[in-house]
């Protein structure tokens, strides 16, 4: 059973946002892609969810963000009694062990390094959709 | 005695004269005879034997009548006789030298007889006898003396007397000295001879002398002598004899040497030697201190001892109780007294002292500490300085460390930026090129499509470069966790990891592992290095017939030697150093693709494990890359 709730993309690079949208389109992923342009905006989304905006099926989180870092966003999300259940997939260029370890320590559900090649990126988008929007059964 | 005149003459004679008749009766006696023998005219007519005076010869033997000169004169052949007659008279024993002359008529019609004259030698005899006795006494006295005594006649250069101590002390016979006085110096140590001879010579003019010298005994023993000589003067005030004593002072000398050594030791010992006494009532004072104590406590040794000053009175007030406590503990346990304390008032200002003493329990219940005090002020100061230097050093190290850490963080941030910021635009270039290719292919001619392909190829290469750079910088950062490592599983991991690619490329991939080896290294680092070498070998054998690659390890001295051998094109050994430098490539990119980072990563990883990496090749005949790591004795339990 496909989950048609939106996907939240936290990404400051407009080109990456655009390419992500295109990659999703190439794979015919129908979930609405909502975008937060930096960490602060990402945290603002919690207020919207509070006032009834539907929760995302998954959050794709970049780590290097202006103002509030991706790890801080992750920490606050996972500290929230309710929003902690939203799966967070860290989608970043960093292969650093310290970043991987820190992300998982804060409760990240997955960690994916962004490939440079667009074909691979499309493949990544497809896999994310398949796993998190189709296969994965979430707590309600 | 016929005439008055002749009587007067006889009576004035110094010698005694007696007249005897043939029956040995006294006929007459002059005044000297009467005085000496204590007789008067009443004795005239009496026989001398009737007087009851025993007579004996000079040896004390009773003298029979016929042995007497008077008897022999009367009854002999008319010759004069003489002899010594000792008569016991009422006035004492008299030694008489007697001469008896026979006469035909002694007068008064008494017929023949003898005239006896005598000289009283009693006084001379007594003098000679007492001289003999005193000489005997002197000899006995001398021979009982432990010290050598001698008397020399300097004019005749003759030894007159020497007691038996000479033979005992010198260990030589004395007789040769009586023959030649020069033998005196025979026993004296050659080094002292000149000095001793000069002292003796000098003494003739200057009077008494004293000198100390060594004597070598024939038995090899060395004896120290103290000799004293002095002149003996005659009644005329002129020197008659030299005399002297010589004393064996070997023991005294040894004592004195030991004493001097001890004093020198005390005087030159670091710090001050002391005896510090605590009586049964707990009162403490110095009973001895070497002079150096003045500099340590500000009171000279004599004052310290005379006034019975307590050490505690000199110690800094803050430390008195602790010092008293340490003394009590030392006295109770009988253990060494070791204490460090300050003395505020000394000529050099406040001093810091260290005490080392051993307690000795006295019979009266008191305790005496014998030991020394040393000045550790300078040492303390130096220690303090070292401490503060160390603290400063630690601060500086901490500062430098935090600086380094800051640099390190900066570096990490930079790497992070590189990975993120450089790759983001690449993704854009590749993504939009790909979209151009796929969604707008119809608007591009063949050349346009070739350009897009070239853009995408360059983008991919740029991506590889960035990834390799990041890998290189990851190797560089952080400390390796070195430990004993078994090489076989590492080689297996690396070889197995490449097995798929090898079989796809028809590569004969073999391994050669010497068993029982262990190296000091880090698993991740070794895997990284070997994997890069193996990737390298796969890359350089690509396209060659019968591709062969061997990965192995064996013991080489105290090391383990890993190798990766291929039958690729190899390289010119002229460049063997350059191939491990970053971005250095020996081949054109169209022949063998690559970034020039792989071997640099290998070297960096191996050097972090204190190993060595090098390569050997003959151009056209393959290459062998070596990694050398320190071997350890025992393989770890894995």
All residues of chain B having their beta carbon less than 8 Å from the beta carbon of residue A116 are 423, 426-427, 430, 459-460, 463
Asked if residue A11 belongs to a domain, the reply is: yes
Residue B368: CB atoms within 10 A of its CB come to 17
Q: With contacts defined as CB-CB under 8 Å, which chain A residues touch B461?
A: none
- Cross-chain Cβ contact A117/B430 below 8 Å: yes
Please report whether residue A73 resides in a domain.
yes
- Which chain A residue has the Cα nearest residue B422? A93
Q: Taking residues B421-429, what's their average pLDDT? A: 84
Q: Is the CB of A76 inside 8 Å of chain B's CB atoms?
A: no
Residue B140 lies in a domain: no
How far does the CA of residue A138 sit from the closest CA of chain B (Å)? 31
Neighbours of B29 (CB within 10 A): 24
Q: Looking at the domain assignment, is residue B396 inside a domain?
A: yes
* Same domain for B209 and B182: yes
Q: Please tell me the predicted confidence (pLDDT) of residue B63.
A: 87
The answer to the question of residue A84 being in a domain is yes
> What residue ranges in A5-137 does DSSP mark as E strands?
7-10, 33-36, 58-61, 88-92, 110-113
Q: Please report which confidence band the pLDDT of residue B416 belongs to, taking 50, 70 and 90 as the band edges.
A: low
Question: Are the beta carbons of B424 and A16 separated by less than 8 Å?
Answer: yes
* Distance (Å) from the alpha carbon of B507 to chain A's nearest alpha carbon: 29
| Closest-CA residue of chain A to B463 | A116
Cβ count near B401 (within 10 Å)? 11
Mutation pick from A23, A66, A115, A118 vs chain B, by most beta carbons of B within 10 Å, is A118
Kindly state whether residues B409 and B507 are assigned to the same domain: no
A69 touches chain B (CB under 8 A): no
Which residues in chain A are closer than 8 Å to B470, comparing Cβ atoms? 95
pLDDT for B638:
45
Residue A39 lies in a domain: yes
Q: Tell me the average pLDDT across B240-252.
A: 91
Between B418 and B597, residue with greater pLDDT: B597
Read off the CATH number of the domain in which B599 is found.
3.30.565.10
| Interface test mutation site (partner B, options A116, A120, A125, max chain B beta carbons within 10 A) | A116
- Give the mean model confidence (pLDDT) for residues B601-627: 89
Enclosing domain of residue A21: 7-128
Q: Is B498 exposed, middle or buried (0-12, 13-18, 19+ CB in 10 A)?
A: buried
Confidence of residue B284 (pLDDT cuts 50, 70, 90): confident
One domain, residues B393 and B490: no
Percent of chain B surpassing pLDDT 70:
95
The model's pLDDT over B509-567, given as tens digits with 9 standing for 90+, comes to: 888 998 888 999 988 889 989 999 998 888 888 888 888 999 999 998 889 999 999 99
pLDDT at B257 over 60: yes
CB contact under 8 A, B470 and A95: yes
| Cβ pair A94:B419 closer than 8 A | yes
- For residues B602 and B496, state if they share a domain: yes
Examine the pLDDT at B576 and tell me if it is beyond 90.
no
Of the three residues B420, B439, B471, the one that is the final residue of a domain is: B471
- Considering B341, B375, B409, which residue would you say is the last residue of a domain? B375
The answer to whether A13 contacts B424, with C-beta atoms less than 8 Å apart, is yes
Higher pLDDT, B3 or B24: B24
Based on the domain organization, do B327 and B402 belong to the same domain?
Answer: no
Does B616 fall in a domain?
yes
Q: Do A118 and B431 lie within an 8 Å CB cutoff?
A: yes
Residues of A in contact with B428 (CB under 8 A): 15-16, 19
- How far apart, in whole angstroms, are the C-alpha atoms of residue B429 and residue A118? 9
- What's the structural domain count of chain A? 1
**Same domain, residue pair B517 and B619:** yes
Q: Which among A16, A19, A95 has CB closest to B419?
A: A95
Report the pLDDT averaged over residues B579-597. 71
Residue in B closest to A99 by C-alpha: B416
Would the pLDDT of B218 be above 90?
yes
pLDDT at residue A101 is higher than 70 = yes
- Whether residues B428 and A16 touch (CB distance < 8 A) is answered with yes
Average the pLDDT over B182-197 and give the result. 88
What is the complex's ipTM, to 2 decimals? 0.79
With CA atoms as reference, the chain A residue closest to B421 would be A93
pLDDT band at B636 (very low <50, low <70, confident <90, very high): very low
For the ranges A107-111, B139-143, B170-174, B322-326, the lowest mean pLDDT is seen at: B139-143
- Give the one of B424, B430, B431 whose C-beta lies nearest to A93's C-beta: B424
CA distance A45 to chain B (A): 25
Of B415, B416, B423, the CB nearest to A116: B423
pLDDT, position B588: 66
Residues B299 and B401 in one domain: no
- What is the structure's pLDDT at B634? 60
Q: What is the largest CA-CA distance in chain B?
A: 214
Query: Which A residues in the span 120-139 are in contact with B, Cβ-Cβ below 8 Å?
Result: 121
Q: What is residue A95's predicted lDDT score, i.e. its pLDDT?
A: 77
Mean pLDDT (whole number) for B228-245: 88
Q: Is residue A133 part of a domain?
A: no
A36: nearest Cα among A78, A2, A70: A70
Q: Which residues contact B72 (CB under 8 A, 6 or more apart)?
A: B66, B81, B100
B415 in any annotated domain: yes
Whole-number Å distance between alpha carbons of B446 and B9: 196
Contact residues, chain B, for A13 at CB < 8 Å? 424
- With an 8 Å Cβ cutoff, are A114 and B423 in contact? yes
Residue A140 lies in a domain: no
- Same domain as B603, residue B488: yes
Q: Do A93 and B419 touch (CB under 8 A)?
A: yes
Report the percentage of chain A scoring pLDDT > 90.
49
Out of B427, B460, B467, the one facing A19 most closely (by C-beta) is B427
Q: What is the CATH number of the domain that holds A47?
A: 3.40.50.2300
Q: Is B154's pLDDT higher than 80?
A: yes
pLDDT at A80 over 80: yes
A66 to chain B, minimum CA–CA distance in Å? 13
Band of the pLDDT at B408, cuts 50, 70, 90?
Answer: confident
By Cβ distance, the residue of A93, A98, A119 closest to B423 is A93
Q: How far is CA B599 from CA B481, B549, B604, B609, B628, in A?
A: 21, 17, 9, 16, 15
Q: Is residue B591 within 8 Å of B602, Cβ to Cβ?
A: no
DSSP lists the bridge partners of residue A124 as none
Q: Do A114 and B460 touch (CB under 8 A)?
A: no
Q: Which of A19, A64, A117 sits opposite B428 (nearest CB)?
A: A19
- For residue A140, what pLDDT is reported? 60
User: How many structural domains is chain B composed of?
Assistant: 5
Using a CB–CB cutoff of 8 Å, tell me whether B15 touches chain A: no
**pTM of the predicted model, to two decimals?**
0.45
Which structural domain range is residue B289 located in? Answer: 269-375
Is residue B581 in some structural domain? yes
B337-343 sheet: strands from edge to edge: B284-289, B272-278, B367-375, B351-361, B337-343
The answer to whether the Cβ–Cβ distance between A117 and B463 falls below 8 Å is yes
Is the predicted pLDDT of residue B260 greater than 70, yes or no? yes
Interface residue A28 vs chain B (CB under 8 A): no
A120: closest CA of chain B, how far (Å)? 10
B60 vs B415, more confident: B60
Domain presence at residue A86: yes
Of residues A2 and B192, the one with the higher pLDDT is B192
Q: Mind listing the pLDDT tens digit for each residue in B85-117?
A: 998 888 788 899 999 999 888 877 778 889 999
| DSSP per-residue string spanning B306-343 | HTT--HHHHS-GGGHHHHHHHHHHHHHHT--EEEEEEE
In the predicted model, what is the mean pLDDT of chain B? 86
- For B42-88, the DSSP string reads GGTTSBGGGGT--EE-TTS-B--GGGSHHHHHHHSSS--EEEEEEEE
Rounded to 5 degrees, φ, ψ at B613 are -135, 140
A109 found inside a domain: yes
| Mean pLDDT confidence for B299-327 | 90
Q: Chain A contact for B476, CB < 8 A?
A: no
Q: Given CB atoms, is B413 within the 8 Å cutoff of chain A?
A: no
**Nearest-neighbour CA in chain A from B412: distance (Å):** 9
| Positive or negative: CA dihedral A119, A125, A126, A131 | positive
- Say if the Cβ atoms of A117 and B460 lie within 8 Å: yes
* Domain harbouring B229, CATH code: 3.30.450.20
Residue B250 sits in the same domain as residue B346: no
Check residue B591 and give its pLDDT.
Answer: 65
∠ at Cα B338 (B314, B322), nearest 5°? 50
């Amino acid at each position: 059973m496909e989950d048609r709730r939106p996907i939240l993309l936290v990404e400051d690079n407009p080109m990456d946002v655009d390419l992500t949208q295109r990659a999703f389109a190439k794979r015919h992923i129908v979930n609405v892609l909502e975008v937060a342009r930096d960490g602060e905006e990402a945290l603002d989304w919690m207020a919207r969810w509070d006032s009834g905006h539907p929760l995302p099926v998954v959050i794709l989180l970049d780590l290097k963000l202006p103002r509030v870092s991706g790890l801080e966003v992750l920490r606050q999300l996972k500290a929230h009694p309710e929003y902690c259940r939203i799966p967070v997939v860290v989608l970043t260029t960093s292969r650093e062990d310290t970043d991987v370890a820190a992300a998982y320590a804060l409760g990240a559900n997955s960690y994916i390094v962004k490939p440079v090649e667009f074909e691979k990126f499309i493949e990544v988008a497809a896999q994310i959709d398949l796993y998190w929007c189709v296969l994965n059964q979430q707590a309600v | 005695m016929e005439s008055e005149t002749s009587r007067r003459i006889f009576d004035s004679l110094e010698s005694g004269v007696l007249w005897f008749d043939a029956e040995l009766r006294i006929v007459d006696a002059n005044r000297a005879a009467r005085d000496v023998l204590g007789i008067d005219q009443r004795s005239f007519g009496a026989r001398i034997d009737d007087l009851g005076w025993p007579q004996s010869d000079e040896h004390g033997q009773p003298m029979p009548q016929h042995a007497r000169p008077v008897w022999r004169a009367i009854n002999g052949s008319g010759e004069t006789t003489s002899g010594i007659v000792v008569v016991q008279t009422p006035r004492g024993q008299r030694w008489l030298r007697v001469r008896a002359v026979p006469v035909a008529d002694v007068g008064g019609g008494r017929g023949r007889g003898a005239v006896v004259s005598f000289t009283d030698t009693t006084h001379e005899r007594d003098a000679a006898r007492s001289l003999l006795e005193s000489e005997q006494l002197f000899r006995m006295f001398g021979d009982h003396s432990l010290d050598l005594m001698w008397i020399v006649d300097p004019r005749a250069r003759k030894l007159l007397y020497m007691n038996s101590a000479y033979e005992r002390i010198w260990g030589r016979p004395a007789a040769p000295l009586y023959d030649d006085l020069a033998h005196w110096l025979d026993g004296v140590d050659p080094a002292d001879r000149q000095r001793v001879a000069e002292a003796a010579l000098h003494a003739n003019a200057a009077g008494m002398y004293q000198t100390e010298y060594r004597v070598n005994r024939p038995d090899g023993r060395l004896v120290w002598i103290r000799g004293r000589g002095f002149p003996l003067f005659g009644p005329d005030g002129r020197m008659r004899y030299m005399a002297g004593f010589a004393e064996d002072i070997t023991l005294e000398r040894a004592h004195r040497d030991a004493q001097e050594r001890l004093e020198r030791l005390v005087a030159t010992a670091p710090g001050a030697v002391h005896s510090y006494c605590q009586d049964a009532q707990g009162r403490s004072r110095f009973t001895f201190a070497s002079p150096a104590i003045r500099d340590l406590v500000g009171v000279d040794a004599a004052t310290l001892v005379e006034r019975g000053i307590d050490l505690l009175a000199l110690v800094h007030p803050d430390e008195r109780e602790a010092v008293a406590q340490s003394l009590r503990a030392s006295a109770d346990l009988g253990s060494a007294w070791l204490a460090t304390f300050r003395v505020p008032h000394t000529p050099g200002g406040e001093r810091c002292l260290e005490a080392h003493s051993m307690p000795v329990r006295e019979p009266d219940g008191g305790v005496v500490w014998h030991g020394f005090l040393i000045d550790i002020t300078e040492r303390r100061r130096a220690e303090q300085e070292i401490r503060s230097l160390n603290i400063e050093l630690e601060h500086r190290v901490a500062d430098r460390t935090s600086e380094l850490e800051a640099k390190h963080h900066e570096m990490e941030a930079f790497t992070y930026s590189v990975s993120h910021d450089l790759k983001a635009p690449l993704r854009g270039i590749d993504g939009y090129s790909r979209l151009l290719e796929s969604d707008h292919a119809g608007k591009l001619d063949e050349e346009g499509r070739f350009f897009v392909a070239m853009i995408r190829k360059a983008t991919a290469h740029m991506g590889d470069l960035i990834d390799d750079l990041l890998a290189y910088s990851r190797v560089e950062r952080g400390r390796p966790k070195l430990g004993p490592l078994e090489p076989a599983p590492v080689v297996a991991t690396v070889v197995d990891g490449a097995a798929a690619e090898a079989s796809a490329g028809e590569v004969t991939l073999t391994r050669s592992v010497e068993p029982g080896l262990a190296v000091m290294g880090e698993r991740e680092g070794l895997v990284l290095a070997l994997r890069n070498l193996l990737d390298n070998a796969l890359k350089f054998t690509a396209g060659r017939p019968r591709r062969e690659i061997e990965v192995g390890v064996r013991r080489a001295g105290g090391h383990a030697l890993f190798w990766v051998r291929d039958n690729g094109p190899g390289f010119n050994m002229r460049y063997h150093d350059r191939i491990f430098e970053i971005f250095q490539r020996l081949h054109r990119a169209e022949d063998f693709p690559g970034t020039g980072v792989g071997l640099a990563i290998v070297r960096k990883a191996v050097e972090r494990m204190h190993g060595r990496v090098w390569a050997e090749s003959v151009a056209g005949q393959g290459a062998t890359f070596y990694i050398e790591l320190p071997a350890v004795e025992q393989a770890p339990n894995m």
